[in-house]
Amino acid sequence: DALTTADVRAAADVVSGAGMVVLDGNLPVATFAAARALAVEHGVPVVVDPVSVPKAARLAEEVRDLLAVTPSHGELEALGGAAALLGRGVALVWERRGASGSVLHAASGAGAVELAAPVTEVVDVTGAGDAMLAAWCHAVLSGRGHTEAAAYAHEAAALTVASPLTVRPDLGEMLAR
């Protein structure tokens, strides 16, 4: 809540040199809009995690011109649906469905691609969404396509929920196997 548009402007050099900018719904609307606009101005792809239904709803008009948005089903409805987001310049809508997997809706017109979640023993779900998004970003920045990156991200989430730790210290090692 304390981040301002002035903070965003002060980070212009960092943003301009970034490979990707990830924003979440916890930001104030004006700060979110300024960060998205700055990244777009510098040609840096933007990914958005809406965080919750109420936060998605308040940011709905600003969720545009993105590489990807990663809503749950409820957050997707609050944002106006996949077709609306694709129409607002979002290249990929990655609808996350927890243990039921996810659906990729792409602007490329390839149709929806459903991905199953790996079967795993659930110990604690805390941190799974963050691990999933971080793994997807890592995979995309490493040159993987969106579907392959999403499958990799599902593995990261499965490994995270199987751990009692919010941030699994051996996640990178486990994913490398």
Pair of tokens at residue 16: 């301009």
| Entry field: residues in the chain | 177
pLDDT digits (tens, 9 = 90+) for 94-119: 999 988 999 999 987 777 999 998 88
Confidence at residue 111, expressed as pLDDT on a 0 to 100 scale: 79
Query: CA 73 to CA 50: how far, in whole Å?
Result: 11
**pLDDT for residue 10 is more than 90:** yes
Angle between helices 128-141 and 146-161 (to 10 degrees): 150
Q: 22-59: per-residue pLDDT in tens?
A: 999 999 999 999 999 999 999 999 999 999 999 999 99
Q: Which CATH class is domain 1-116?
A: alpha beta
CA atoms of 57 and 60, how far apart (whole Å)? 5
Beta strands in the chain (DSSP E): 21-24, 46-49, 66-69, 90-96, 102-106, 113-115
The full set of domain ranges for the chain reads 1-116, 117-177
Sign of the CA dihedral 41, 42, 44, 50? negative
d(Cα 103, Cα 115) in Å, to the nearest integer? 6
pTM for the complete prediction?
Answer: 0.91
Instruction: Give the number of other CB atoms < 10 A from CB of residue 23.
Output: 22
Residue environment code for 158-172, b if the CB has 16+ CB neighbours within 10 A, otherwise e: bbbbbbeeeebeebe
Q: In degrees rounded to 5, what are phi and psi of residue 6?
A: -65, -40
Q: Is the CA virtual torsion 83, 85, 87, 92 positive or negative?
A: negative
pLDDT tens column, 105-159: 998 777 799 999 888 899 998 888 899 999 999 999 999 999 999 999 999 999 8
Q: How confident is the model at residue 171, as a pLDDT?
A: 85
Tell me the pLDDT band of 167, cut-offs 50, 70 and 90. confident
* Residue 177 pLDDT > 80: no
Residue 96 contacts residue 72 (beta carbons within 8 Å): yes
The dihedral of CA 21, 114, 51, 75: what is its sign? Answer: positive
Hey, which residues does 92 pair with through a beta bridge? 68, 106
Residue 90 pLDDT exceeds 90: yes
